[in-house]
Amino acid sequence: MRGWMRDLTDLALPTECGGCGSPPAVLCARCRTLLERAEPRRVRPVPEPPGLPVVYAAAPYAREVRALLLAHKERGALALTGALGAALAEAVRAGLRPEPGRSTAESRAGPVILVPVPSARWAVRRRGHDPVRRT
């Protein structure tokens, strides 16, 4: 289903929460609160490669948050865009704050850069939308 038709369907038909599956909202109050109260945190791979820039995640990629992201990305739950975008904005703001015990200048060696993982063209065609650009 293409973008405008999916938007219309999301508005017209009852649906279930993309996070926990409970009806009738695409984002129930419990999952909205979970996403809004998530504390962005710095994430590091192990082992951490030298020179890796500071990376923040909006929330742990698990359970309801994982389900919300997949509902938006793979099942076209476009009504989740605003809530996911707000969580992303919080992660960006976290990247702008100094790390505990360090000044802002010491915390960052350069500009803050938001690096989205682009969707492949075939995936955008299959989904009917580009979740990265939409968010």
Q: What pLDDT sits at residue 105? A: 57
Predicted local distance difference test score (pLDDT) of residue 27: 94
Q: What is the pLDDT at residue 110? A: 65
> What count of residues does the chain have?
135
* 73 within 8 A of 43, measured Cβ to Cβ: no
- Closest by CA position to 18, among listed 60, 71, 85: 71
Work out the number of other CB atoms within 10 angstroms of the CB of residue 69: 21
State residue 35's pLDDT score.
93
Q: Which of the residues in the chain have pLDDT under 50?
A: none
What is the rounded radius of gyration, in angstroms, for the C-alpha atoms of the chain?
17
pLDDT of residue 61: 92
Q: Among all chains, which residue has been given the structure tokens 């009852």?
A: 14
pLDDT reported for residue 106: 55
Q: Cα dihedral sign for 42, 43, 48, 52? A: negative
Per-residue pLDDT tens over the stretch 17-35: 999 999 888 899 999 999 9
Q: What is the pLDDT of residue 78?
A: 86
CA nearest 85: which of 128, 22, 123, 36? 36
pLDDT of residue 115: 76
In angstroms, the CA 18 to CA 66 distance is 9
- pTM (2 decimals)? 0.75
Q: What are phi and psi of 42, to 5 degrees?
A: -70, 135
